Amino acid sequence: MRVYLRYAFKETFTNLWRNRMMTVAAVLTVAVSLSLVGSALLLKQSAAQASAQWQQGTRVTVWMQPTASQSEIDSVKTQLTSMPIVKDCQYFTQAQDYQQAKTLLPADEWSVLTPSATPSSFRCVPSVPTDAFTVQSTFANQPGVYQVTAPEQQIRQMNHAIRILQIVFLALAAVLLLSATVLILNTIRMAIFSRRREVSVMKLVGATNWFIRVPFITEGFIQGLLGSAVAILAVTALHTWYPLHNEFALNSAALVGTNTVVLVVGVVIGSVGSAIAIRRFLDV
C-alpha cells in the first residue's frame, strides 16, 4: 500500500508538471467558473436575507387626497379596520403628515408645502407582507384616495433584478463549468497519451486496472481542487471587501457554506472530467 501511494503520488505530480500549461488553463477555468458560482450564491443569500428583513417592517400607506371629505376618510377607515389581513392601522392627520414631511424633506421642498395641501394618511401593517398588494388594489381607486404605496413593490423589483443577475451568473458559470470539465478531460487525455508506453508495459506485466487508473483520476481531482481553492480565495475576498452593508452583510456561516459548495463542485468536475477521459481513452 505504501509503495502504491508513493507511486501514485509521484506519477500524479509528474503528469501535472509535464502538462503544466494545460493544467494552468484547466485550473484557471475551474477557478473563474467557481468564483461565479460562489458569487451568485452569496448574492442570492444576501438578497434573501435583506428582503426578509425588509418585509418584517412592511407597511402599506393609504394616502388620502388633501381635498378628501370626512365621509370618504371615514369610509376608508371603516373598511381598513374591518379587513382581517390588516393587523394594525394608524391615522395621520394632515397636520401630522405635514410635521413628518418637515423632518423628512429638504427645506426648499417642504417650504412650498402647506398643511392643507398635505395628504392625510393611514399607516397600516398587513399581517402577511404580501397582503400589502391586496390592500393596494382594494383602495387605489376608492373616492378620496390619492395613492396607495407599499415598499413591498420596491422589494419585489429589486428581488427581480437580483434574480435576473443571479440567473445570468449561474448560466455563465454553467457554461464555464462545462468548459472546465472538458479542459480537465483534455489534460487527462494528453497525460494518458504521453504515458501510453508506460501504460502498455503496465498492462503487460499485470498491473491492476485501478493501479493504472488512479494516478490519472487524482490528477483531475487535484486540478479541480486547485481551481476551487483559487475560487474560495476569490469568494472570500468578495465577501470581505465588497461594500455590502447593513441588511445585505452576510455572516461567516454563509461564507463557509458557499465555500463548501464551491469546493465540492470543483472536486466533482475534476473527478468527472478525468473519469470520462479514462473511460474513453484509457483502454485497460
Partner 1 sequence: MIRFENVSKTYKNGTPALRNVTLDIEKGEFVFLVGASGSGKTTFLRLLLHEETPDHGRILEAGRDIGELPKWRVPYLRRNIGCVFQDFRLLPNKSVFENVAFALEVIGRPRSTVESQVPQILELVGLADKSKNLPHELSGGEQQRVAVARAFVNRPLILLADEPTGNLDPANSESIMALLERINRTGTTVVMATHDKALVDRMRRRVVELDRGEIVRDQVRGVYGIDEGVAI
CB closer to partner 1 out of 15 and 223: 15
Interface with partner 1 in residues 210-229 (CB under 8 A)? 211-212
Binding partner 1 (rule: CB under 8 A), the pick from 53, 200, 252, 260 is 200
Shortest gap between Cβ of 192 and partner 1 (angstroms)? 15
Sign, CA dihedral 152-155-160-161, equals: positive
Residue 243: other Cβ atoms inside 10 A: 6
The Cα–Cα gap between 199 and 193 comes to: 9
Would you state the cell numbers that stand for residue 35, as one nine-digit string? 468564483
Shortest gap between Cβ of 9 and partner 1 (angstroms)? 13
Q: Is 17 in the site for partner 1 (CB under 8 A)?
A: no
Binding partner 1 (rule: CB under 8 A), the pick from 21, 106, 141, 197 is 197
> Which position has the grid cell 464555464?
176
Which one of the spans 52-60, 137-145, 200-208, 235-243 is the region binding partner 1 (CB under 8 A)? Answer: 200-208
Shortest gap between Cβ of 267 and partner 1 (angstroms)? 26
Would you state the cell numbers that stand for residue 60, as one nine-digit string? 402599506
Q: Is 85 in the site for partner 1 (CB under 8 A)?
A: no
Residue positions counted in the chain: 284
Strand order in the sheet with 121-126: 86-92, 121-126, 60-64, 145-149
Q: Is 237 in the site for partner 1 (CB under 8 A)?
A: no
Shortest gap between Cβ of 50 and partner 1 (angstroms)? 56
Q: Is 102 in the site for partner 1 (CB under 8 A)?
A: no
Would you state the cell numbers that stand for residue 282, as one nine-digit string? 484509457
CB closer to partner 1 out of 93 and 209: 209
Strand residues in 25-97 grouped as ranges (E):
60-64, 86-92
Shortest gap between Cβ of 200 and partner 1 (angstroms)? 7
Q: Is 193 in the site for partner 1 (CB under 8 A)?
A: no
Cβ neighbours for 73, distance < 8 A, ≥ 6 positions apart: 64, 91, 120, 144
Which one of the spans 3-11, 106-114, 158-166, 274-282 is the region binding partner 1 (CB under 8 A)? Answer: 3-11
Residue 144: other Cβ atoms inside 10 A: 19
The Cα–Cα gap between 40 and 196 comes to: 41
Residues lying near partner 1 in the complex (CB under 8 A) are found at: 3-4, 7, 197-198, 200-209, 211-212
